[in-house]
């Protein structure tokens, strides 16, 4: 009998290929596309995964019908996720072998990689797990064990198994959060991955084998360590270690708070919502926000500074945070005056352009720095100034008679992407400026060794708001997100440690709330869209979350930062 063949279109070479039915993507990659070339660096990269009709698949996947296939490497966002998930599995196995009586926790993202801790199995009286402090010598042993596993080029294998069996595996691995997550989502079948006979779960595909993990490092930080992957500019070099103590402390503080209230994972959160505790959780989280707004206002008053600069990445809730901090300042007897930094743009013909020849409105030099600094200094000297108004339609500055003079209890509040960059106010006395960084720094994890992405959290916020008030489709929000992220990396994140105070705008109930709004929007996106790969990934992530009901969403107060995204805000 003749062997059956199917046709595959390979996007990498733009050709149709006849293949024998039952062959794996890894077999096809060896024939057609062993490596991909990064356009920016010119480096050749191993193929480690593939997009099949825009859906991310492991290379062991065996196509049965006509498909479009695109092979990807570490330079693709989904390739990086596959690489880092696989690296976490190697780390997990190394820790299991060296510390069989302890548990690895992948806690949150850092600028240089993933922050990890090793915990004792028992919990402290306040509900938190006790951290096991890892010495430099022990970190060296973990790294050497990881290198041994990688050198063996061991395969990662995925097995579909009964959910009850999977939960038993997780409990035996001392991973109760994984077991609770599986129980809370209620599916009958789930995927379990195996490496050298040891089982674990990961919420997305892995690479073919450990031998592909050529570049990594681990560096001690705080009570734990940072797992570092390759750089984006040179894939043969490790991401350099950036120690950002203030961000790390804020993430750790939120993580400890989640542990204390007994909700440190999605499984815990799902169970609490199913048990009817959603409104209690909403009230608790909002109370924490209000307390933190008040703490920042206290710091502002104690500092005796006259200018408050607030910055944060997209959809971090900067506008709501500014208003709430201003309100708390009023409680303390201060009189906040708001100046919009957007009114200090240069005229359109002086706006710098990016590498594509388009106006770069995110550039620091799109701002009239001289004029801004002059007016701020005049205000600090007690002079009256006329605040400009920028006409975005004509691209020019206008004046409408808006005059401002700072009296004894007055403070200026200014919010914008460059607010933490000292160059924005380079000729102003820096001792007069109080800086606030606001971002949604969620420390809630999926389970023990799968953390939640803070950028995904903000992306869902932005999608819901864009659709509601800006007339931007969910597809366009997804397609624009990489450009937004590049701007944040260039203009905001390098300066976040300059902040005098950090406001964590994440709310523990927001993912169940966002699921209610975002899931229907994502389901509108066509499988033929270039945004479909991200759509599938986000929908799969949302499958792990139990959504809030409309009656529970109604309990979110009108002063909540969430109202900036879903509507109904009164401040």
- For CA atoms 248, 108, 459, 553, the dihedral sign is negative
Element (H, E) at 398: strand 396-404
Which contacts (CB < 8 Å, 24+ apart) does range 317-320 have?
317/438, 317/440, 317/461, 317/505, 317/561, 317/564, 318/415, 318/438, 319/415, 319/564, 320/505, 320/561, 320/563, 320/564, 320/569, 320/571
| Separation of alpha carbons 86 and 342, rounded Å | 44
H/E run at residue 146? helix 136-151
Average pLDDT, the chain: 90
For the chain, the structural domain boundaries read 5-73, 79-243, 257-332+431-566
Q: Which residue has the higher pLDDT, 24 or 210?
A: 210
Would you put residue 43 in left (φ > 0), alpha (ψ -120 to 50) or beta? beta
3-state secondary structure 231-272: CCCCCCCECCCCCCHHHHHHHHHHHHHHHHCCCCEHHHHHHH
**Residues 362-398: pLDDT tens digits?**
889 999 999 999 999 999 999 999 999 988 888 888 9
What is residue 19's predicted lDDT score, i.e. its pLDDT? 81
H runs (alpha helix) in 346-453: 369-380
532: tokens are: 């479909």
Q: Which of 1.20.810.10, 3.10.20.30, 3.30.413.10, 3.40.250.10 would CATH assign to domain 5-73?
A: 3.10.20.30
For the stretch 326-376, pLDDT in tens is: 999 999 999 999 888 889 999 988 988 887 788 888 889 999 999 999 999
Instruction: Report the alpha-carbon distance of residue 49 to residue 344 in Å, rounded.
Output: 46
| Average pLDDT rounded to a whole number, residues 514-529 | 95
More confident: 470 or 344: 344
C-alpha distances in Å from residue 522, one per residue of 50, 204, 546, 549: 22, 18, 17, 19
The better pLDDT of the pair 537, 252 is held by 537
Give mean pLDDT, residues 40-54. Answer: 90
Q: What is the third-level CATH fold of 79-243?
A: 3.30.980
Q: In the prediction, which pLDDT does 260 show?
A: 85
The tokens for 157 are 């294998």
pLDDT digits (tens, 9 = 90+) for 273-319: 999 999 999 999 999 999 999 999 999 999 999 999 999 998 999 88
- 143, 222 in Cβ contact below 8 A? no
- Sign of the Cα pseudo-torsion (28, 33, 39, 40, in order): positive
């Amino acid at each position: 009998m003749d062997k059956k063949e199917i046709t595959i279109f390979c996007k990498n070479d733009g050709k149709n290929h006849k293949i024998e039915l039952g062959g794996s993507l890894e077999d096809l990659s060896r024939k057609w596309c062993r490596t991909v070339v990064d356009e920016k660096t010119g480096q050749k990269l191993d193929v480690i995964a593939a997009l099949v009709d825009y859906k991310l698949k492991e290379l062991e996947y065996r196509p049965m019908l006509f498909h479009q296939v695109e092979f990807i490497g570490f330079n693709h966002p989904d390739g990086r996720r596959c690489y880092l998930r696989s690296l976490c599995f190697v780390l997990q196995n190394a820790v299991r072998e060296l510390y069989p009586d302890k548990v690895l926790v992948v806690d949150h993202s850092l600028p240089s990689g993933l922050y990890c801790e090793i915990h004792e199995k028992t919990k402290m009286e306040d509900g938190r797990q006790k951290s096991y402090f890892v010495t430099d010598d022990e970190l060296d042993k973990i790294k050497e064990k990881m290198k041994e596993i990688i050198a063996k080029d061991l395969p990662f294998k995925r097995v579909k198994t009964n959910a009850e069996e999977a939960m038993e595996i997780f409990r035996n691995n001392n991973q109760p959060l994984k077991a609770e997550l599986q129980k809370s989502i209620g599916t009958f079948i789930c995927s379990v991955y195996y490496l050298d006979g040891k089982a674990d779960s990961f919420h997305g595909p892995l690479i073919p084998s450990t031998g592909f993990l050529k570049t990594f490092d681990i560096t001690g930080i705080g009570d734990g360590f940072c797992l570092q992957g390759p750089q984006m500019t040179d894939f043969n070099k490790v991401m350099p270690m950036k120690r950002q103590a203030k961000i790390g402390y804020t993430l750790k503080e939120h993580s400890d708070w989640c542990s204390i209230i007994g909700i440190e994972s999605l499984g815990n959160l799902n169970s609490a919502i199913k048990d009817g505790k959603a409104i209690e959780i909403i009230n608790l989280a909002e109370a924490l926000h209000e307390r933190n707004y008040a703490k920042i206002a206290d710091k502002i008053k104690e500092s005796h500074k006259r200018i408050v600069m607030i910055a944060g990445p997209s959809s971090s809730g900067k506008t709501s945070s500014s208003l709430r901090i201003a309100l708390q300042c009023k409680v303390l007897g201060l009189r906040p005056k708001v100046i919009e930094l957007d009114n200090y743009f240069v005229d359109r013909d002086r706006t710098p352009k990016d590498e594509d020849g388009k106006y770069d409105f995110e550039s620091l030099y799109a701002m009239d720095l001289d004029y801004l600094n002059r007016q701020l200094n005049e205000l600090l000297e007690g002079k009256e100034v006329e605040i400009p108004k920028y006409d975005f339609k004509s691209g020019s500055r206008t004046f409408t008679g808006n005059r401002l003079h700072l009296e004894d209890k007055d403070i200026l509040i200014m919010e914008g992407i460059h607010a933490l960059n000292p160059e924005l106010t380079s000729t102003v006395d820096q001792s007069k400026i109080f800086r606030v960084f606001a971002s949604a720094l969620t420390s809630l994890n999926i389970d023990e060794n799968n953390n939640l992405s803070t950028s995904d959290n903000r992306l869902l916020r932005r999608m819901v708001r864009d659709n509601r008030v800006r007339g931007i489709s969910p597809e366009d929000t997804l397609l624009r997100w990489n450009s937004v992220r590049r701007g944040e990396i260039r203009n905001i994140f390098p300066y976040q440690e300059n902040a005098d105070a950090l406001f964590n705008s994440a709310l523990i109930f927001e993912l169940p709330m966002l699921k209610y709004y975002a899931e229907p929007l994502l389901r509108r996106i066509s499988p033929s869209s270039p945004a479909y790969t991200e759509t599938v990934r986000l929908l799969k992530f949302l499958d792990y979350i139990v959504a809030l009901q409309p009656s529970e969403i109604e309990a979110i107060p009108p002063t909540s930062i969430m109202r900036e995204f879903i509507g109904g805000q009164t401040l």
